[in-house]
Amino acid sequence: MSNIVAIVGRPNVGKSTFFNRLIQRREAIVDSVSGVTRDRHYGKSDWNGKEFSLIDTGGYVVGSDDEFETEIDKQVELAIDEADAIIFMVDVDSGITPMDEEVAKLLRKIKKPIFLAVNKVDNSSRQADAVEFYSLGLGEFYTIAGINGSGTGELLDALVEALPEKEEEVEVDLPRFAVVGRPNAGKSSFINALIGEERYIVTDIAGTTRDAIDTKYNRFGFEFNLVDTAGIRRKAKVKEDLEFYSVMRSVRAIEHSDVCILILDATRGFDGQVQNIFWLAQRNRKGIVILVNKWDLVEKETNTMKKIEADIRREIEPFTDVPIVFISVLEKQRIFKAIETAVEVYKNRSKKIKTSELNDTLLPLIENYPPPAYKGKFVKIKFITQLPTPQPQFAFFCNLPQYVREPYKRFLENKLREKFDFNGVPVSVYMRKK
């Protein structure tokens, strides 16, 4: 479990520039995942070997100035609630504004590490101007220039120093299924339909994170932990429709699970907020099952189901190998089918394929369809192996890894899916030097 760091502050102080700088540092090193840009406000970063999840609250605020005030208050409150540390960003150009004071007032009350970052300080005269921010009553501040990165090193050194040590999770053999989705999609009802009225609960384990509730579920030969984001204590102040709220709540549950059961409301469709949660799970390399709930409320014609399914698959390209199950929690339609599917996806995610089998199956295919020549160079793939990671990742050893383009990697991924069934699971393909 990584720590969560939230960047808060009023609009236009440079939160997103700073956020992008931190995310790219990591993206560039680890992997460039397609679909990354679709979820602009959540990312993983690391500094000095310590990894953390970063949330840019700025991307969620829309509307006029008065709306800004209330939205920002809501978000700061939620960030205070959910994050392990908070970076409060202000801007030396405009000095201290009433909105900054408002945010500082909320932050002074709390016991978490808070880092006051004064942005746009790119010369010594501005360094002197920054002194006025002492009056916000948050102690020391860090002067940075998000645009060129000066000063961010000191800020990040202090930040990772202050992040609480996360206990290494005790490996439990039981799969963990997180039930996620936007508010009112039917998450609570789904969980109640599984365990509620019949109370087939073996134990209630307080989640390792302080909010996601784990329920051990054992029935029909399935045994797993359900991580319920729906039951997380609701803040009366946080409006249900706030996109930020759903994503923030889902972050912990998703990072904390093996398979995400993403529930969406058939009458609302696969909208932006649901997509955000989908890409969150995909980027965290979790298994995914999509449940289209309230199917009983949809006007049906002959091809309605096919059409909705095709629409969803179009939105989640290129990762379309995901099971979609149409359910009605109210009518108890296909609920156990949904759980069966999640168990299958879990098995796919933990599947290990023998090196000999991989090479015997794929090398002949690769010989017939080798990577296209690039700049007159021919790539020869000699050997394939599965990496020892919790989710499926494969290394293809070849003479010129840098010349293998994205489309060919996708071709290899599709062949892996076709031959070994990784339905519902993100698969990573890496090219390595032989």
The number of CA neighbours under 13 Å toward the Cβ of 92 is 21
pLDDT digits (tens, 9 = 90+) for 119-162: 988 887 788 888 889 999 898 899 998 778 888 899 999 999 99
Pairwise pLDDT comparison (268 vs 165), residue with the higher score: 268
Cα separation of 92 and 95, whole Å? 5
15 is in an annotated binding site: yes
150 is in an annotated binding site: no
424 is in an annotated binding site: no
294 is in an annotated binding site: yes
228 is in an annotated binding site: yes
59 is in an annotated binding site: yes
pLDDT at site 15 = 82
Q: Is the pLDDT of residue 212 over 70?
A: no
122 is in an annotated binding site: yes
CATH topology of domain 355-433: GMP Synthetase; Chain A, domain 3 (3.30.300)
Q: Do the beta carbons of residue 228 and residue 215 sit within 8 Å?
A: yes
Residues 6+ apart with CB under 8 A from 340: 222
The residue written with tokens 């709220």 in the block is 245
409 is in an annotated binding site: no
421 is in an annotated binding site: no
124 is in an annotated binding site: no
Please state which of the ranges 49-58, 104-113, 126-135, 393-402 shows the lowest mean pLDDT.
49-58
Model confidence at 202, in pLDDT bands (50, 70, 90)?
Answer: very low
Cα separation of 92 and 72, whole Å? 20
13 is in an annotated binding site: yes
60 is in an annotated binding site: yes
Helices 243-255, 65-82: axis angle to 10 degrees equals: 20
Top CATH class of 176-348 equals: alpha beta
Please state which of the ranges 28-32, 300-304, 337-341 shows the lowest mean pLDDT.
28-32
Q: Do the beta carbons of residue 20 and residue 274 sit within 8 Å?
A: no
CATH topology of domain 3-162: Rossmann fold (3.40.50)
Residues 6+ apart with CB under 8 A from 418: none
pLDDT at site 286 = 93
Report DSSP letters for 358-392, one per residue.
HHHHHHHHHHHSPPPPBTTB---EEEEEE-SSSS-
121 is in an annotated binding site: yes
Pairwise pLDDT comparison (165 vs 235), residue with the higher score: 165
148 is in an annotated binding site: no
Spatial CA neighbour of 260 closest among 178, 342, 335: 178
Q: Do the beta carbons of residue 100 and residue 10 sit within 8 Å?
A: yes
Model confidence at 68, in pLDDT bands (50, 70, 90)?
Answer: low
Strand order from edge to edge, sheet including 428-433: 381-386, 393-398, 428-433
209 is in an annotated binding site: no
Q: The tokens of 80 are what?
A: 């205070």
58 is in an annotated binding site: yes
User: Could you tell me what percent of the chain has a pLDDT over 70?
Assistant: 80
Q: Is the pLDDT of residue 64 over 70?
A: no
The residue written with tokens 């156990």 in the block is 336
183 is in an annotated binding site: yes
Pairwise pLDDT comparison (335 vs 28), residue with the higher score: 335
Pairwise pLDDT comparison (117 vs 329), residue with the higher score: 117
The residue written with tokens 């339609």 in the block is 333
35 is in an annotated binding site: no
pLDDT at site 230 = 54
271 is in an annotated binding site: no
CA angle 422, 425, 428 (to 5 degrees): 90
Q: Is the pLDDT of residue 169 over 70?
A: no
Q: Report CA 404 to chain centroid distance, whole Å.
A: 27
pLDDT at site 31 = 31
Q: Do the beta carbons of residue 293 and residue 265 sit within 8 Å?
A: yes
pLDDT at site 246 = 60
287 is in an annotated binding site: no
184 is in an annotated binding site: yes
Q: For residue 320, give the DSSP letter.
A: -
Strand duo 213-219 + 50-56: pairing: unpaired
**Which residues of the chain does CATH 3.40.50.300 include?**
3-162, 176-348
342 is in an annotated binding site: no
Name the phi and psi angles at 292, rounded to 5.
-95, 105
185 is in an annotated binding site: yes
Q: Do the beta carbons of residue 106 and residue 24 sit within 8 Å?
A: no
pLDDT digits (tens, 9 = 90+) for 218-276: 776 778 888 776 544 344 444 444 456 666 667 778 887 899 999 999 988 888 778 88
User: Could you tell me what percent of the chain has a pLDDT over 90?
Assistant: 31
Query: What one-letter code names the amino acid at 155?
Result: L
Q: Report CA 183 to chain centroid distance, whole Å.
A: 17
Average pLDDT, the chain: 80
Q: The tokens of 158 are what?
A: 């202090």
196 is in an annotated binding site: no
pLDDT digits (tens, 9 = 90+) for 177-189: 998 887 778 887 7
Q: Report CA 121 to chain centroid distance, whole Å.
A: 32
293 is in an annotated binding site: yes
Q: Is the pLDDT of residue 165 over 90?
A: no
- Tell me the mean pLDDT in the region 401-411: 90
Cα separation of 388 and 390, whole Å? 7
Q: Is 349 helix (H, G, I), strand (E, B) or coil?
A: helix
Spatial CA neighbour of 129 closest among 87, 91, 155, 89: 91
pLDDT at site 374 = 83
**Which residues of the chain does CATH 3.30.300.20 include?**
355-433
Spatial CA neighbour of 57 closest among 248, 316, 207, 212: 248
Pairwise pLDDT comparison (64 vs 209), residue with the higher score: 64
151 is in an annotated binding site: no
Model confidence at 191, in pLDDT bands (50, 70, 90)?
Answer: confident
Q: What is the dihedral of CA 32, 34, 39, 45, to 10 degrees?
A: -20
pLDDT at site 90 = 92
Provide the whole-model pTM. Answer: 0.67
295 is in an annotated binding site: yes
120 is in an annotated binding site: yes
- Tell me the mean pLDDT in the region 7-11: 84
Q: Do the beta carbons of residue 156 and residue 115 sit within 8 Å?
A: no
Q: Report CA 303 to chain centroid distance, whole Å.
A: 33
Query: What one-letter code names the amino acid at 384?
Result: I
